[in-house]
Amino acid sequence: MDELVFFINRGVISGLITGCVYALGGVGITLIFGTMRFAHFAHGDMMTMGAFISFLIAGALSAMGVVLPIPLAFAIMPISMALTAVAALGIERSFYAPLRDRGAKPVTMLIASIGVTLMIQGLIRLIFGSGTRDFFGGTEVKEIFRIPTTMFGGTRPIVLTEPQVLMFIATAIAVIGVHLFLSRSRLGKAMRAMADNADLAQVSGINTKMVITVTWLLGGALASMAGTMLSLDVNLRPDLAFNIILPIVAAAVVGGLGSAYGAIVGGLLIGFTEALAVFNWTAVLRPLQPYLPFDLPANLAVVPTEYKITVAFVILVVTLLVRPTGIFKGAST
Amino acid sequence: MPIIEVKDVVGGYGGAPILNGVNIAIEQSDIGVIVGPNGAGKSTTLKAIFGLLKITGGSVVFDGEEITNALPDRLVPRGLSFVPQEKNVFTTMSVEENLEMGAFIRRDDISGTLEEIYTMFPVLKEKRRQPAGELSGGQRQMVAMGRALMSKPKLLMLDEPSAGLSPRYVLEIFEHIVTVNKAGVGILMVEQNARQALAFASRGFVLAQGKNRFTGTGPELIADPEVAKSFLGG
């Protein structure tokens, strides 16, 4: 039983958290690709930007002595999402839209987004310094839930932190929200139509400029959410999400570029696989030791933790070989 | 007054012009058919009218208003619809969603128009929850036409609606086009099946090298020995 608890704590929960972050980031990447046909490399830094905006607001409230039953960063997340959405639209209007209007190729757009990456990171370092910050350094404490497993014969509890629980709930709400938006609303359907066939969307009289605007607002809001939750779970650094942009892009590609559902599935798939790949299987296999002809090593993981990033690429390569359009047959052209 | 009047239009994709003075005028009650050899500028003419390529000379007047080089998001609300030849459905979206996208510019209740389309193409009602990409070629063409009709156009432009369809479906699509026209929608279409299409055309335009070569009613053009010899395969 304790082995199972260990597996849940280190495998399932860890995978779910990473998966949630990848999924929320991936949805933004995939929608931006769908409507504008370019890989938005700066999306990770938009997540970081959102996290710092949350940090700023939460810090200010904390300094004013505001105390809430949930972490402040969570309570103010809607404000941070709105601000990041506006910032994302500002970046689009100042950098990407002028290039697109002049007929820039996708690769030019990609390079422009690398420029935006450097700019956002530089700005964050300029304002906040390059050190690591923690939401829970001050008055706030990270509450930890221990779910006892004694009734199932276990001795160790399942450990969950409050930010983790809130993160699962928030991601679930966001995913349902995105689903309802894309499947029910007129604009959401137009967004899917543009991802499916941009020329036909234009011919149908769909206001493509408005769809692009909404795409950036949605992508920015989800990025802020992912960034804030990631920084609550670990800590806040200027390169917080830059380090995970590659698995996030992989999530979007694996799911099928242009498909929001694909990005969610791809994100969770990559998150779980990463967690299980670095999971120490010895801990789970130890009860079987008497039946095994060899001694279990102290650490039996598929890949060492420092090579975690390769997992996303293995999945990416396999997907591109077996099903080049991704799980949900996205628009890969 | 003609619903559309294309006057001496010159245009292309930036290089040498493909259209060198095209003239087209039809009434809302007409079915206008543009025929001609490959590369004559038939499809290009429709795209030029719909603002998908640059017109460098001449003018287009639609419903009494100059629309030269206007973009689709202005043209569709004015009552002009276009069905491209290829990739003319949203393959990942359901049939009904395809139709809804055709009505994107409308803010009123679209359920009535939706019912009209389903009455015209009963098979689409059956398959309305199915992704359009799973349908047969003929059914896709119905979705494409249905989508274009959802905006309640005054003039429907079709680029080779019979391309790639089996003979049985070609006839069916042509019948649908006539039905749409009888309901009061002007038709301007490009066709490879020239003889078949001209047979029901009230206005026919034979294009060659980006210019009008012959203009007349469909039956007139079919009867013209020179047109028949050069453009209809004898």
- What is the reported pLDDT for A138? 62
Check CB contact under 8 Å for A189 and B84: no
C-alpha count within 13 angstroms, C-beta hemisphere, residue A219: 36
C-alpha A49/C-alpha B98 separation (Å) is: 37
Q: How far is CA A167 from CA A18, A25, B96, in A?
A: 11, 14, 36
Nearest to A196 by CA among A211, A214, A210: A211
Q: What is the DSSP letter of A102?
A: T
Residue A177 has pLDDT above 80, yes or no: yes
C-alpha B234/C-alpha B228 separation (Å) is: 5
Residue A332 has pLDDT above 80, yes or no: no
Q: Distance (Å) from the C-alpha of residue A58 to the closest C-alpha of chain B? A: 41
% residues pLDDT > 90 (chain B): 82
Mean pLDDT calculated for residue range A27-52: 95
Beta strands in chain A (DSSP E): 144-147, 158-161
Work out the widest C-alpha separation in chain B, in whole angstroms: 51
Residue A157 has pLDDT above 90, yes or no: no
Residue A298 has pLDDT above 90, yes or no: no
Nearest to A273 by CA among A8, A15, A2: A15
Interface test with A, best of B73, B86, B107 (most A CBs within 10 A): B73
pTM: 0.90
Q: What DSSP element (H or E) covers B60? A: strand B54-62
A286 confidence band (pLDDT: 50, 70, 90) = confident
- What is the reported pLDDT for A45? 96
Mean pLDDT calculated for residue range A42-55: 96
Q: How far is CA A316 from CA A58, A252, A258, B207, in A?
A: 37, 10, 16, 51
Q: Distance (Å) from the C-alpha of residue A333 to the closest C-alpha of chain B? A: 14
Q: Which residues pair with B206 in a beta bridge?
A: B35, B214
Judged by average pLDDT, the poorest of A134-148, B20-34, B39-53, B106-120 is A134-148
CA A170 to chain centre: 12
A253 confidence band (pLDDT: 50, 70, 90) = very high
Torsion of CA B43, B47, B52, B54, to 10 degrees: 90
C-alpha count within 13 angstroms, C-beta hemisphere, residue B180: 29
Read off the tokens for A307.
Answer: 């090579």
Q: Collect all residues of chain B within an 8 Å Cβ-Cβ radius of residue A186.
A: 100, 104
A5 confidence band (pLDDT: 50, 70, 90) = confident
Cα–Cα–Cα angle for B23, B26, B28, nearest 5°? 155
B34 confidence band (pLDDT: 50, 70, 90) = very high
Q: Which residues pair with B4 in a beta bridge?
A: B26, B62
Read off the tokens for A146.
Answer: 């221990």
C-alpha B161/C-alpha B195 separation (Å) is: 15
Task: Report pLDDT digits (tens) over A97-131.
Answer: 999 999 999 999 999 999 999 999 999 999 998 88
- What is the reported pLDDT for B234? 55
Q: Collect all residues of chain A within an 8 Å Cβ-Cβ radius of residue B97.
A: 189, 192-193
C-alpha A251/C-alpha A256 separation (Å) is: 9
Residue A333 has pLDDT above 60, yes or no: no
Kindly tell me the sign of the dihedral angle through the C-alpha atoms of A281, A282, A287, A290.
positive
Chains A and B form CB pairs within 8 A to the count of 66
Residue A151 has pLDDT above 80, yes or no: no
Residue in chain B nearest A200 by alpha carbon: B88
Q: Is B105 on the interface with A (CB under 8 A)?
A: yes
The contact set of A with B (CB < 8 A) is: 186, 189-190, 192-193, 196-197, 199-208, 259, 329
- What is the reported pLDDT for B82? 97
Mean pLDDT calculated for residue range A291-300: 81
C-alpha A109/C-alpha B114 separation (Å) is: 40
Q: What is the DSSP letter of B198?
A: H
- Do the beta carbons of residue A11 and residue A210 sit within 8 Å? no
Mean pLDDT calculated for residue range A54-69: 88
Residue in chain B nearest A208 by alpha carbon: B73
Read off the tokens for A7.
Answer: 């597996």
Interface test with B, best of A204, A214, A261 (most B CBs within 10 A): A204
- Do the beta carbons of residue B158 and residue B145 sit within 8 Å? yes
Q: What is the DSSP letter of A96?
A: I
Helix (H, G, I), strand (E, B) or coil at B21: strand
Q: What DSSP element (H or E) covers B65? A: strand B65-66
C-alpha A32/C-alpha A215 separation (Å) is: 6
**What is the bridge-based pairing of β-strands B211-216 and B203-208?**
antiparallel
- What is the reported pLDDT for A331? 52
State the burial class of residue B182 (Cβ atoms within 10 Å of its Cβ: 0-12, 13-18, 19+).
Answer: exposed
Read off the tokens for B101.
Answer: 């996208």
Task: Report pLDDT digits (tens) over B70-89.
Answer: 999 999 999 999 999 999 99
Q: Distance (Å) from the C-alpha of residue A206 to the closest C-alpha of chain B? A: 6
Q: Which residues pair with B190 in a beta bridge?
A: B34, B159
Nearest to B79 by CA among B100, B60, B105, B99: B105
- What is the reported pLDDT for A101? 92
Task: Report pLDDT digits (tens) over B43-56.
Answer: 999 999 999 999 99
Mean pLDDT calculated for residue range B214-227: 89
Q: What is the DSSP letter of B214?
A: E
- Cβ-based neighbours of B160, under 8 Å, separated by 6 or more: B43, B85, B189, B190, B191, B192
Q: Distance (Å) from the C-alpha of residue A202 to the closest C-alpha of chain B? A: 6
ipTM of the complex: 0.93
Mean pLDDT calculated for residue range A213-219: 97
Residue A137 has pLDDT above 80, yes or no: no
Q: Collect all residues of chain A within an 8 Å Cβ-Cβ radius of residue B151.
A: 204-205
- Do the beta carbons of residue B182 and residue B120 sit within 8 Å? no
Please, which residues 65-84 of chain B have a Cβ atom closer than 8 Å to chain A? Answer: 71-73, 75-77, 82, 84
Question: Within a 10 A sphere around the Cβ of B112, how many other Cβ atoms?
Answer: 10
Q: Distance (Å) from the C-alpha of residue A211 to the closest C-alpha of chain B? A: 12
Q: Is B90 on the interface with A (CB under 8 A)?
A: yes
Residue A174 has pLDDT above 90, yes or no: yes
Q: What DSSP element (H or E) covers A209? A: helix A208-233
C-alpha B167/C-alpha A144 separation (Å) is: 71
- Do the beta carbons of residue B68 and residue B60 sit within 8 Å? yes
Task: Look over chain B and give the mean of its residue pLDDT values, rounded to a whole number.
Answer: 93
Mean pLDDT calculated for residue range B177-196: 94
Mean pLDDT calculated for residue range A24-28: 95
